[in-house]
Amino acid sequence: MSGKVRIGIIGCGTIGSVHANAYAKVEEAEVVALCDLLPDRLKEKAELHKVARTYVDYKELLADPEIDAVSICVPNDMHAPIAIDAFAAGKHVLLEKPMTLSAELGQKILDARDQSGKLLQMGMVWRQRDEAQLVKKEIEAGRLGEIYQIRVKLIRRRGIPGLGGWFTTKAKSGGGGLIDIAVHFFDLVMWETGYWNPTRVSAKCYSKFGSPIADYHYISMWAGPPKMDGVFDVDDYATGFVRFGDKATMVFEVAWACNAEDESYVELIGDKGGMKVGLGDSVIHTEVDNCIADVKLHYKNDSDPFVNEVRKFALAVQGKGEIPATGEQGLVAMKLLDAIYKSSAINQEVEI
């Protein structure tokens, strides 16, 4: 297509505004419509982002012939129905993570995409960070050799979002910290290594801090404040061991809340080098001229990953680029999440 991609954003919460701000910095796209169930918030965000056209019903937005594509920024339980309806309406879709509530629903999204002939991009924004792009290139250049062990650690001492709201209500979110934040790092390591074949998992999920809601002590809360009459029936801590066939293994520890220091990194260990991603400094632990050496990688860290993400989406819609995070990859991540929750529930290793 020629001209700017005309975008409708469905869901005007925090992440919806993040998308709107990112599109505003992309010359290939223009946000022309917003949709939200809450009229007051819709009005506020329309004024903030200078968007004239608004809808309370997402189906009315999808019926608008002047909209080419949509960003879906709603609670997880609405990802599948809205994405499926968007494809039926002939729209391209940028779908926020996680893909949906289950791999079964994820496959239905892919089926709808295939029937429509439109594009689906997953909102896996960690890939779009400058450091992640650099590490991907280093791996492809063979700097780490064969990667055989992966460590994922994403610990928040007190970081439950929107306690009592949809984030902590399993029927709407599908789960807690695992499906909310671990999905970022699972996608990141599979993308960087190319290991899109998780085969078996042994894991355990815990729920220790969110209930009773009145007893949860914190300093700040994203998407807060707490709803004291709300629900907390999801995981706030998960740990486990994943096999990628006989090629590699991954250990992970992820927490919305636990009595430990905040930590956030991915560690990749190969037979030629190893490195941690997410600490700010990218250092390869390796050997140079038969000497043990640390090689620090210098790179610019000044781009906005959300801007990178929506620009690539717009370019793909225009036929000028490829989708950077595919629906098939989103489905693999959902299958891994499903298996982790199943393993925890039955206290056994399970096949993915």
- Using CA atoms, how far apart are residues 335 and 104, in angstroms rounded to an integer? 9
- Using CA atoms, how far apart are residues 68 and 52, in angstroms rounded to an integer? 17
Q: Residue 336: its pLDDT value, please?
A: 98
Q: Residue 202: its pLDDT value, please?
A: 98
b/e string for 223-246 if b means 16 or more Cβ within 10 A?
eeebbeebbbebbbbbbbebbbee
- Using CA atoms, how far apart are residues 171 and 233, in angstroms rounded to an integer? 9
Residue written as tokens 């590490």?
135
Looking at the predicted structure, is the pLDDT value of residue 2 above 80? no
pLDDT band at 248 (very low <50, low <70, confident <90, very high): very high
Q: Which CATH superfamily is domain 5-124+305-324 in?
A: NAD(P)-binding Rossmann-like Domain (3.40.50.720)
Average pLDDT over residues 165-171: 97
> How many other C-beta atoms are found inside a 10 Å radius of the C-beta of residue 136?
17
Strands 120-123 and 92-96: parallel
> DSSP H helical segments within 225-326, as ranges?
305-317
CB-based contacts of 262, cutoff 8 Å, min separation 6: 155, 156, 157, 159
Average pLDDT over residues 5-25: 97
- Using CA atoms, how far apart are residues 92 and 105, in angstroms rounded to an integer? 18
Q: What angle do CA 64, 67, 70 make, to 5 degrees?
A: 110
Please say whether the beta carbons of 237 and 254 come within 8 A.
yes
| CATH number of the domain located at residue range(s) 127-303+333-351 in this protein | 3.30.360.10
b/e string for 148-165 if b means 16 or more Cβ within 10 A?
bebbbbbbbbbbbbbbbb
Q: Residue 18: its pLDDT value, please?
A: 97
Structural Rg of the chain based on CA atoms: 20
Query: Rounded mean pLDDT of the chain?
Result: 96
- Using CA atoms, how far apart are residues 138 and 54, in angstroms rounded to an integer? 45
Percent of the chain with pLDDT over 70: 100
Please say whether the beta carbons of 251 and 141 come within 8 A.
no
Looking at the predicted structure, is the pLDDT value of residue 346 above 90? yes
Looking at the predicted structure, is the pLDDT value of residue 280 above 80? no
Range from 58-62, 221-225, 266-270, 345-349 carrying the lowest mean pLDDT: 221-225
Kind and range of the H or E run holding 234: none
* DSSP helix/strand/coil, 169: coil
**Phi-psi region for residue 119, left (φ > 0), alpha (ψ -120 to 50) or beta?**
beta
pLDDT tens-digit map of 71-109: 999 999 999 999 999 999 999 999 999 999 999 999 999
What tokens appear for 68 in the block? 């080419």
Percent of the chain with pLDDT over 90: 95
Half-sphere CA count of 334, side-chain side, radius 13 A: 25
pLDDT tens-digit map of 178-200: 999 999 999 999 999 999 999 99
What tokens appear for 198 in the block? 């998780």
> DSSP H helical segments within the chain, as ranges?
14-23, 39-49, 58-62, 79-88, 103-116, 130-140, 170-173, 177, 183-193, 305-317, 327-346
Backbone angles phi, psi at 280, to 5 degrees: 100, -45
Please say whether the beta carbons of 295 and 272 come within 8 A.
no
Range from 130-139, 238-247, 274-283, 304-313 carrying the lowest mean pLDDT: 274-283
Q: Residue 279: its pLDDT value, please?
A: 77
Domain assignments of the chain as residue spans, ordered by start: 5-124+305-324, 127-303+333-351
End-to-end CA distance of the chain: 39
Length of the chain: 352
- Nearest CA to 71 out of 39, 38, 106, 96 is that of 96
Looking at the predicted structure, is the pLDDT value of residue 278 above 90? no
What tokens appear for 335 in the block? 């299958």
- Using CA atoms, how far apart are residues 313 and 69, in angstroms rounded to an integer? 9
Q: Residue 298: its pLDDT value, please?
A: 86
**Is the full-model pTM beyond 0.75?**
yes
